[in-house]
Structure 1
């Protein structure tokens, strides 16, 4: 029996060691020629559908296999020329920085065309410009819950969704594979009766009844992406002037590379697959509300109001895409009316250590410190205790 245990231990140790040796960690920072960091740039091996995004400090981290050393690493960001470098050449660099050059655009007479023309054309061409066949997205999804502008609960899920693109109002299937969460320090335990990933699709106007005629449009700028000139147009809702949307549209293809809206301050960023079709790369939004509280809580929290400010800060980073239907395998387990904080999912620390995710953003670091400071307990310790 003792011999069997020793053999089993050595086997597990060997497998883990082999796995660690076969992983190549590629990390660094994306900057422009003026040494300004570039946030939310797309970094990856396009031909292998491997990728990530830089954080708000321009930092990125990507875990590859040794088989990828001869592949090309591509960096793309709105307003800059795309950059390519062989993975091995980048690893050999002393300075782990990638400098991308600004792409100067002068649209001239093109901008004299009525801006709503570009919006209408882009909406009409969504089927042609975006990936609308069945595909699987692997997503890191984070949600911070805040009360009185203080973070009090964090939930992170790694999940797969089946998406059919912008012509379909919601994700077809959703499967949560891994998860972890902090200790729940909330006083007002606001719940969402669904998994928050659903709203990434459902609250995207491009997937629903979005009409150019509902807005007054104006050109607010020009840019580029991956060699194509972009026009930036902003629309003010005719009935609700405080409601606005902003689109970054390709002049040649009429593809929508980025979409922003005032509601929840939401941002959607898209990038090209190996066939040149656009798919979701990054998303964030913040939902805010207020809740009535008891006199006891008002005194405990030292508030002047009978209401407390609440918010959910969401972030979704697409880490991979699969378009081969033979390799797509998503078994829905998230179509239940359960808040993602209550979702029963296994916690595997080894999985999270090996997951290729962007370095912590300023927002994440700030909220993490505040969560840990409440009782002086590190997040890793909280994960072990709670999950």
Structure 2
């Protein structure tokens, strides 16, 4: 790829995504609708997903309620919390994960048990006749050509849970969560997706911490724009696939379906460059998952891309940028289901021996969706800006009844525990 074209593409991407703001800046203007809690009755089911042999927790496993659009995922400790309307009971739940055999269980199972043991898939997939693709680039091109056939072509209204955490080394310094409504346009439409905040909460006791100066710009859009099928111009724009080197990795299975694994790496390394893996269904040639990184060894260029403002006397740059996107299938069509961006940054101060290291985790899981065509109602909705800073622009509040009725990513630590820890750190600093 020509350097000028690459710079134009990256400038377009990062003008809206993954920008950091240092220093307490005035809040951007944004309006948010506050709506009443749904009166629907729910039952709550909690569990943990583990490897049947090692007993290790399995992160990012999908937990889906059959015959519905209700889903959630397990956290880094394998734990999940699933809230299901009583009106649809009884139902079964399918738990699935890359490289494991899926397991379907009646929902009542979780009333007395909380462990789901998944068995790793040890089948020699490389010898199965279904894997007859010989050219990985041709496979990727074919996958992109089949988008209309494999993915939703209807506008959908998606309900999702969004979490954004900022850690200084291992300590939480910022935590924002929101139930988000996404007015998602079809992948073949030129219209961008629209996002509104339904409910939100955040920790706010950071005024005396210098770490509050680190902020993430883009909020839910950081996870939403990872949708490679909708936003192909960010990584896999048709016609630009020749700019990558492709190789086959060992095939695997997802949800009992055979999957090609294609490694890709950008050829032009004069600027930050992409590399990663594409997981393509062998039968339908659907992209069902992508895991990829942006190489940021060029610290100066990467800093210009990602750092909007910084204090004098400091050098700020990313050292690791990792992205993941999952798609889910319903009635033969696939849709965006989960996006996760993990960004690690280093701050070097001129007169300090040790640097500061921060990790930002931005993730969003689609918990429900429906086809949507009410454009009149859409015009009445207040949407957030792609430049939103969640820690500034969202009026945080805590509504225990509301949050208890929505599927969330079960937190490793509760938001209140994180706040209390920060308060103690503040008090210790003042002693």
Q: Secondary structure at the match of 2:249?
A: strand
Comparing 141-150 with 117-126, greater Cα deviation is found at 141-150
Distance 1:38 1:149 in 2: 21
Distance 2:98 2:342 in 1: 23
Q: Secondary structure at the match of 2:67?
A: helix
CA-to-partner distance for each residue in 1:307-346, whole Å, 9 max, x for gaps? 6544432121222112254699652330274411112435
The alpha-carbon deviation at position 247 of structure 1 amounts to 0.5
The alpha-carbon deviation at position 261 of structure 1 amounts to 1.2
Is 1:23 the equivalent of 2:47? Answer: no
- Partner of 2:283 in structure 1? 252
Q: Quick check: which one's helix share is greater?
A: 1
Say if 1:79 and 1:308 are closer, same or farther in 2 by CA, change over 3 A. closer
Is 1:356 the equivalent of 2:407? Answer: yes
Q: Pick from 66, 91, 98 the counterpart of residue 86 of structure 2.
A: 66
Q: Secondary structure at the match of 1:140?
A: strand
- Partner of 1:272 in structure 2? 329
Pairwise CA RMSD of aligned residues?
3.3
Comparing 326-335 with 117-126, greater Cα deviation is found at 326-335
CA-to-partner distance for each residue in 1:260-293, whole Å, 9 max, x for gaps? 11122011111112x1322222221123445565
Unaligned runs of 5+ in 1: 1-15, 296-302, 379-387
Structure with the greater relative contact order (CA < 8 A, sep ≥ 6): 1 or 2? 2
Q: Secondary structure at the match of 1:47?
A: coil
Say if 1:181 and 1:78 are closer, same or farther in 2 by CA, change over 3 A. same
Say if 1:248 and 1:338 are closer, same or farther in 2 by CA, change over 3 A. closer
Q: Pick from 130, 149, 174 the counterpart of residue 153 of structure 1.
A: 174
Distance 1:24 1:291 in 2: 45
Q: Secondary structure at the match of 1:280?
A: strand
Is 1:87 the equivalent of 2:117? Answer: no
Say if 1:37 and 1:290 are closer, same or farther in 2 by CA, change over 3 A. closer
- Partner of 2:254 in structure 1? 225
Comparing 264-273 with 280-289, greater Cα deviation is found at 280-289
Comparing 133-142 with 32-41, greater Cα deviation is found at 32-41
Q: Secondary structure at the match of 2:75?
A: coil
Instruction: Count residues with an aligned counterpart.
Output: 346
Q: Secondary structure at the match of 2:143?
A: helix
Comparing 320-329 with 128-137, greater Cα deviation is found at 320-329
Any residues of structure 2 matched to 1:175-190 within 5 Å, and which? Answer: 175-182=196-203, 183-184=205-206, 185-187=209-211, 189-190=213-214
The alpha-carbon deviation at position 86 of structure 1 amounts to 2.6
The alpha-carbon deviation at position 50 of structure 1 amounts to 1.1
Unaligned runs of 5+ in 2: 1-36, 295-320, 427-431
TM-score by length of 2: 0.70
Q: Contact 1:170 / 1:201 at 8 angstroms: preserved in 2?
A: no
TM-score by length of 1: 0.77
Q: Secondary structure at the match of 1:261?
A: strand
- Partner of 1:202 in structure 2? 225
Comparing 138-147 with 346-355, greater Cα deviation is found at 346-355
Is 1:144 the equivalent of 2:165? Answer: yes
- Partner of 1:133 in structure 2? 154
Q: Pick from 49, 63, 80 the counterpart of residue 69 of structure 2.
A: 49
Any residues of structure 2 matched to 1:217-366 within 5 Å, and which? Answer: 217-240=246-269, 243-263=274-294, 264-273=321-330, 275-290=331-346, 303-304=352-353, 308-325=356-373, 331-335=381-385, 337-345=387-395, 347=397, 348-361=399-412
CA-to-partner distance for each residue in 1:203-228, whole Å, 9 max, x for gaps? 54442332321111111221112332
